[in-house]
Structures are given as structure tokens and as C-alpha cells.
């Protein structure tokens, strides 16, 4: 959680120096849990990314990895449980009830807090999606425990506590947050921040089925309808293979078209840095960075982006980062692999043309052969 | 009808500077603003008030200087402003913050009328957690609806509200009952320009200032550092990658774009074939 309102205090007496002992009744809390998020028949890939991370934490602690699956009884829940074992679960906790058909905070919070209070995990990880954030905030408050939002790194400290690192102060610094004397230690992680683990075919293991403690009549909120996104591209940015993005170096909203052109020529997705969204040049679903999308493409081309930490944490997982910027001292060149010191506005059209030529020439060769 | 809008005064984050040696935030002279996400909550609350009557109370927790943001909210057209300020609140994490704000909202209810709705922004731009809204809702036992794109229908007499909520892959249309907490999504409305009348009123208006005790906090151990289960152990600047970027320049008489493409495909040998397949429409 934590919006640290106090600047990091080097002096004693600040939060950094607080010593906290885990109360006796929390010592029974063991094992690492990952919430397997699924809505309308689909498991969100962030859940598998978290299973990969949860497996590492569980192995370090020498405990089990549990997968939590909530939903209506049926194929979807059974499928999610079966998959969870292929992604490393030792055990699955399932609450299957028609009340959980669609996500509603009241019912899901009840199911999750009841599971936690009954089976007592020490760590609970959720995806930082709209669903995960809505659920995590409510569950943590109900359990009165700590929650670290949008973690970019998870580790186990020498004393066995979860060390969750996240950007803070608008992404200008990183901080490592602990929940020392409450359990479970909760954290959310954005999609694509962690890499996707390898799926290994495995049989279904131990499954614990738990009853939902609330009935439909207890739930005040009713779902009238669901309107799926018309623009299916919206969801693809985070999972795209190639991404081209532009920043303030483009100079004007019209020049953002140059980014779109290159993306189109490469069959890539396009995105932008935060200032362009704040200026209203580009819609917020295209924002890449800590407060936007995290991407892990094979190739990322950043044009006219200076590379603030808030942007950096969103793109660091890319296999290859190419940066184009007029300022050779721009921070983006500290984490890009390949740099071009030039004006993106002039260079992008040339790059677009060169890519088009190369890809179509290649394609003709292939067709001829 | 009574609506409480929670806002936060935040540093204008684009202008945050980090001290190069100590890695601490240099706050001196950093301008503060109302958290931009909160303006969507404020505007939505005022639209409901304008349509259905009632009052909008803005609430914030922060240092005495957070009064500036409350006054700004009054110039936009809020009816009342409450500042929760006390050294006991220093160092609050999101759990302790939600406790303090929920306690104050209860007190606001006792003093000025029980709120039918509580509005918050999606998240703040300095903490970016999106946890305080849900925290307040749970503390007050309110229905929580986050990422709201639109108030589709509102029936104060029947005490129901219909909301369009941004979900993964689409929009949920939900019907719930009052009272509830709504966290508004960005770009859902545009904050009005404050009228001259409101500006004059705001300049004269008294901002209600409450200490923890004034707000009805009984248990100080739930506030500030003591009431925060999370501990920030380390704050640090990310380390630079060991090697800097390899700079590509145009070869003698050659083409810079082609040189870059050659470098990219040399480093990602399979990418060219995949992109070509894509270009051919596979």
C-alpha cells in the first residue's frame, strides 16, 4: 500500500526504523497464495505470471503455493483449477457458487476473506487489474492488513518477510515495503511486470472446496448487463510483440501520427508516455509506464521519450529497447539497448519507409521461393 | 441529498525533483495541486447535486497547507470544506488513511447530515495505489463501486444508483443502493470553471478544521505510523544498467534507418521472419 507521506527519514524514529514483532496468533499463517482471476470464462494471464513469482517465493520459504479460484460452478472454474496445477500450484482453494458468476466486490470480498481466515496464508498476491485492485483494497481493509499496490519486484527477506518493491512519488523513486506484524502480507502486481512461467502439463492435485458464506439475497449490487469493448485492440498493447511509442520529443499532437505509421508498417501496437496523455494528445489506454500499461515486447521503439522512472518501469521487461532522442544524455539511454541520437520527427518517416521496404522485399523473396 | 467528495493535495508530480546525493524528495517550492483524478469525482458529485439538489462537502486529510486545495474545490462550487489535520496522522499508509477519512465522514454525517454518496478519484498521482477508496467503503460498510465511467441513472427517492463500471474487457452496468462509495474514472467529465460568485464565496468561506479528536477518533493507535501495517524500509533510486545504450550512427554514405534495422534484426534473429509473416497477413 503506502503512499508514504513522509519523505524517507534517515533519522531514527521514522517508519524505516520501526521494529515490529509478529504477534503469536499470526505465526500459524503459512504458504503463498495467488488469486487466479477469471471473468467470463477467461483466466487473466497476470494470474499465471503471479504463479511464476509465487512459486519462487514459496520455494524460498519452503512452503506450498496455493491457487485461489472463485466463480460459478462449472467448466470455467474446473478449467482454471486444472491450469493452476500446470503453472505450479501445490493446492487449489475453490469457492464455486452461482453468486460468484460475475465479479461483484461484496461477494468476492466475502469469499476471499473467509478463505484467508480459514486457511491462513502468509502471502496473498493479486493482479493489479481493475478487478484485482478493487478486490485487494477491500480484502486488505477487511482483514486490517498491509497491501502493497503495483509491486515491480517481490522477494523474501532473510527473516522470511515479503519485501515488495514499487515505484513511489509518481515514479521518481523505488521503495521496498514490508508488512511485518500483520498477516497475510498482500501485494498486487500489474500485468506483464513478471514474466510468464513455462506451463508444464500436470494432473490436478489437492483441491479444497469451500462454501460461500453469503447468498444472492445478501448481495445488494446487481449486474444489469455487460458491454464488451468494441475496440479489441485496446487490450493488446500489454501483450504485443512489437511496440512503438512516442513522447514529448514529438513536439506536437499531429506528429504522433508518425508513431502510428511506423507501428502500422511493422504490424506493431502503438503507445505513448504519460505527458502525452496528460496533454490530451493520446487516450489514456495507450499510456505506457507505471500508471499506464506495462509491456514486455520483443522489440520496443521509444521515439522522443526522455525515459523517466515512471516510464522505465513499464518497459524494462522488453527484450530489445531502441531509443530515439535528440538529447544523448536523456535517461532513456541508460536502459535502452540501442540508441539513435536524432530528431524522431525527421527519423520516424525514414524508419517507416525502410521497415516497409525490408519487410515487403523479404516477403516477396519468400513468396518466390 | 448530501455527497462527500474525498480529495487529496498532491505535489505536481511532473515537477518532483530527487536530491542527487541523498535520494530524498525535494519538496521545497514544489507546487501542489488537487489530485487530478479527484476533479472527476468532484464534478460528478456537483452534477448530481445540481440536478437533484443537496450539498457537496469536500474532505481532505493533510497538512494545514492542504486548505489551499479545499478552497480551490469551493471555487469550483463545493458547498463545504473539511480539513482533517493532526500530527497523529503523519506517516499514515492507506489503511490508516482510510480509517481517518472514514471516521471523519462519520463525523460529517453527524454534523451536517448523513451522506448518501461518497465520491473519490480512481487513485492519486503520488501514491497511485487506488486503495483508499475501497478502504473507506469497507470501514463505513458502504457498497463500493470503483472505476466508474458513468452514473447512468440515479433515483434518490428509490435510493438506487445505476453505474457503468470499467471492467477487464468491457463495461459492467451495475445497479446498487444508497449509500455507496463511487470511485470515478478519469476523462469521464470536465471540471467546470468556477463562477465569480463561487470564487468570492470561497475566499470568505470558513474551512472546517478538525484534529483527530475533533473528528471523533477514539483510538489514536489506529492513526498515522502506529495504525499503518506497512513499513517502508528502503527508498532508493533505481540503478542504471551496467552498460549504456549502443549508439548507432549512419555509416559512411549509408542510411541510418537501414543501419538500425540491421542492428535490430541481428539482435532479434527470429523477429524478421515473424514480422514478415505478419506483413503478409498471416
pLDDT tens for B244-256 read 889 999 888 889 9
Are B229 and A179 a contacting pair at CB < 8 A? yes
Cell triple for A358: 525490408
Q: How far away is chain B from the Cα of A298, in angstroms, using its nearest Cα?
A: 8
* C-beta atoms of A224 and B162 within 8 A: yes
Q: Residues B52-88: pLDDT tens digits?
A: 999 999 999 999 999 999 999 999 999 999 999 999 9
Span A11-28, average pLDDT = 64
Residue of A141, A168, A241 with shortest CB distance to B139 = A141
The residue in chain B having the minimum alpha-carbon distance to the alpha carbon of residue A222 is: B175
Compute how many other C-beta atoms are within 10 angstroms of the C-beta atom of residue B216: 14
Q: Do B241 and A350 touch (CB under 8 A)?
A: no
If you average pLDDT over residues A340-352, what whole number do you get? 96
Cβ distance B16 to A129 less than 8 Å, yes or no, reads no
Q: Please give the interface size between A and B, counted as residue pairs whose CB atoms are below 8 Å apart.
A: 333
What is the pLDDT at residue B280?
67
d(CA B37, nearest CA chain A) in Å: 11
Position A19 confidence tier, pLDDT thresholds 50, 70, 90:
low
pLDDT at B96 over 60: yes
Mean of pLDDT values over A349-366: 80
* DSSP per residue, A46-96: HHHHHHHHHHHHHHHHT--EEEEEEE-TTHHHHHHHHHHHHTT-SEEEEEE
Residue B281, pLDDT > 90, answer: no
Chain B residue with the nearest C-alpha to that of A221: B176
Q: Would the pLDDT of A250 be above 90?
A: yes
| Stretch A31-45: mean pLDDT | 92
Q: Kindly determine whether residue A1 and residue B175, on different chains, have CB atoms separated by under 8 Å.
A: no
pTM of this structure = 0.86
pLDDT above 50 (res A274): yes
Q: Supply the pLDDT for residue B282.
A: 47
Which ipTM was obtained for this model? 0.88
Each residue's pLDDT tens digit, A45-70? 999 999 999 999 999 999 999 999 99
Is-contact A347 A322, C-beta < 8 A? Answer: no
Contact (CB<8Å) A44/B168 = yes
Cross-chain residue pair B128–A10, CB shorter than 8 Å: no
CA distance, residue A340 to nearest chain B CA (Å): 6
Residue A290 and residue B128: Cβ atoms within 8 Å?
yes
Asked if the model's pLDDT at residue B28 lies above 80, the reply is: no
Which is higher by pLDDT, A214 or A235?
Answer: A214
pLDDT recorded at residue A20: 59
- Nearest-neighbour CA in chain A from B197: distance (Å): 29
Q: What is the mean pLDDT of residues A106-125?
A: 98
Tell me which residue of B10, B7, B12, B15 sits closest to B43, measured CA to CA.
B7
Q: Does residue A121 contact residue A32 with C-beta atoms inside 8 Å?
A: yes
Q: Would you place residue A149 in the very low, low, confident or very high pLDDT band (cuts 50, 70, 90)?
A: very high
User: Over 70: is that where the pLDDT of A18 sits?
Assistant: no
**Rounded Cα gap, residues B282 and B278, in angstroms:** 5
Identify which of B168, B237, B276 has the shortest CB distance to residue A173: B237
Closest chain B C-alpha to A7 CA, distance in angstroms: 6
Please compute the mean of the pLDDT values over residues A218-228 and round it to a whole number. Answer: 94
Whether the predicted pLDDT of B278 surpasses 80: no
Mean pLDDT of chain B: 91
- For residue A365 the three cell numbers come to 523473396
Q: What is the pLDDT of residues B163-192, one digit of tens each?
A: 999 988 889 999 999 999 999 998 889 999
A74, pLDDT greater than 50: yes
CA–CA gap between residue A114 and residue A94 (Å, rounded): 12
Nearest to B170 among A142, A220, A228 (CB): A228
Amino acid at each position: 500500500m503506502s503512499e508514504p507521506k513522509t519523505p524517507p527519514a534517515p533519522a531514527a524514529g521514522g517508519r524505516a526504523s520501526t521494529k515490529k514483532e509478529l504477534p503469536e496468533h499470526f505465526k500459524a499463517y503459512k504458504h503463498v497464495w495467488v488469486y487466479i482471476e477469471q471473468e467470463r470464462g477467461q483466466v487473466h494471464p497476470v494470474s499465471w505470471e503471479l504463479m511464476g513469482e509465487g512459486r519462487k517465493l514459496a520455494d524460498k520459504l519452503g512452503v506450498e503455493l496455493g491457487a485461489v479460484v472463485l466463480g460459478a460452478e462449472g467448466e470455467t472454474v474446473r478449467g482454471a483449477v486444472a491450469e493452476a496445477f500446470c503453472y505450479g500450484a501445490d493446492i487449489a482453494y475453490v469457492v464455486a457458487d452461482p453468486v460468484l458468476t460475475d465479479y461483484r466486490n461484496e461477494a468476492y470480498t466475502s469469499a476471499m476473506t473467509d478463505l484467508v481466515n480459514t486457511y491462513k496464508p502468509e502471502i496473498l498476491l493479486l493482479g493489479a487489474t481493475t478487478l484485482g485492485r478493487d478486490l485487494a483494497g477491500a480484502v486488505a481493509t477487511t482483514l486490517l492488513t498491509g497491501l502493497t499496490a503495483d509491486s515491480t519486484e517481490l522477494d523474501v527477506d532473510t527473516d522470511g518477510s515479503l519485501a515488495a518493491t514499487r515505484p513511489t512519488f509518481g515514479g521518481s523513486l523505488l521503495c521496498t515495503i514490508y508488512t511485518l506484524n500483520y498477516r497475510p502480507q498482500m501485494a498486487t502486481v500489474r500485468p506483464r511486470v513478471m514474466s510468464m512461467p513455462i506451463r508444464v502439463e500436470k494432473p490436478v492435485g489437492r483441491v479444497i472446496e469451500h462454501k460461500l458464506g453469503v447468498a444472492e439475497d445478501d448481495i445488494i449490487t446487481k449486474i444489469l448487463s455487460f458491454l464488451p469493448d468494441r475496440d479489441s485492440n485496446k487490450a493488446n498493447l500489454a501483450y504485443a510483440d512489437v511496440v512503438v511509442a512516442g513522447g514529448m520529443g514529438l513536439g506536437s499532437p499531429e506528429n504522433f501520427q508518425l508513431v502510428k505509421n511506423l507501428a502500422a508498417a511493422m504490424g506493431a501496437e502503438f503507445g505513448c508516455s504519460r505527458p502525452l496523455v496528460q496533454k490530451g494528445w493520446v487516450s489514456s489506454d495507450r499510456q505506457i509506464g507505471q500508471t499506464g500499461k506495462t509491456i514486455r515486447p520483443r522489440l520496443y521503439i521509444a521515439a522522443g521519450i526522455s525515459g523517466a522512472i515512471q516510464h522505465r518501469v513499464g518497459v524494462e521487461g522488453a527484450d530489445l529497447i531502441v531509443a530515439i532522442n535528440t538529447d544523448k544524455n536523456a535517461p532513456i539511454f541508460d536502459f535502452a539497448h540501442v540508441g539513435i541520437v536524432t530528431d524522431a520527427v525527421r527519423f520516424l518517416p525514414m524508419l517507416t519507409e525502410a521497415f516497409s521496404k525490408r519487410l515487403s522485399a523479404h516477403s516477396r523473396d519468400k513468396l518466390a521461393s | 441529498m448530501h455527497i462527500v467528495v474525498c480529495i487529496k493535495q498532491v505535489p505536481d508530480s511532473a515537477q518532483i525533483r530527487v536530491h542527487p546525493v541523498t535520494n530524498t524528495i525535494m519538496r521545497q517550492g514544489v507546487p501542489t495541486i488537487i489530485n487530478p483524478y479527484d476533479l472527476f469525482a468532484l464534478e460528478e458529485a456537483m452534477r448530481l447535486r445540481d440536478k437533484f439538489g443537496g450539498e457537496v462537502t469536500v474532505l481532505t486529510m493533510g497538512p494545514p497547507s492542504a486548505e489551499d486545495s479545499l478552497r480551490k474545490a469551493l471555487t469550483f462550487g463545493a458547498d463545504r470544506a473539511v480539513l482533517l489535520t493532526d500530527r497523529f496522522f503523519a506517516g499514515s499508509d492507506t489503511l490508516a488513511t482510510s480509517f481517518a477519512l472514514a471516521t471523519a465522514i462519520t463525523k460529517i454525517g453527524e454534523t451536517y447530515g448523513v451522506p448518501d454518496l461518497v465520491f473519490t478519484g480512481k487513485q492519486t498521482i503520488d501514491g497511485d495505489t487506488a486503495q483508499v477508496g475501497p478502504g473507506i467503503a469497507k470501514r463505513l460498510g458502504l457498497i463500493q463501486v470503483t472505476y466508474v465511467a458513468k452514473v447512468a441513472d440515479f433515483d434518490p427517492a428509490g435510493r438506487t444508483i445505476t453505474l457503468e463500471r470499467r471492467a477487464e474487457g468491457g463495461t459492467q452496468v451495475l445497479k446498487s443502493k444508497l449509500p455507496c462509495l463511487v470511485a470515478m474514472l478519469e476523462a469521464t467529465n470536465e471540471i467546470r470553471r468556477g463562477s465569480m460568485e463561487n470564487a468570492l464565496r470561497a475566499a470568505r468561506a470558513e474551512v472546517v478544521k478538525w484534529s483527530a479528536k475533533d473528528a471523533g477518533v477514539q483510538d489514536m493507535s489506529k492513526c498515522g505510523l502506529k495504525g499503518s501495517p506497512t513499513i517502508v524500509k528502503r527508498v532508493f533510486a533505481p540503478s542504471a544498467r551496467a552498460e549504456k545504450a549502443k549508439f548507432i550512427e549512419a555509416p559512411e554514405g549509408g542510411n541510418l534507418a537501414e543501419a538500425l534495422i540491421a542492428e535490430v534484426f541481428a539482435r532479434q534473429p527470429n523477429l524478421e521472419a515473424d514480422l514478415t509473416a505478419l506483413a503478409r497477413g498471416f
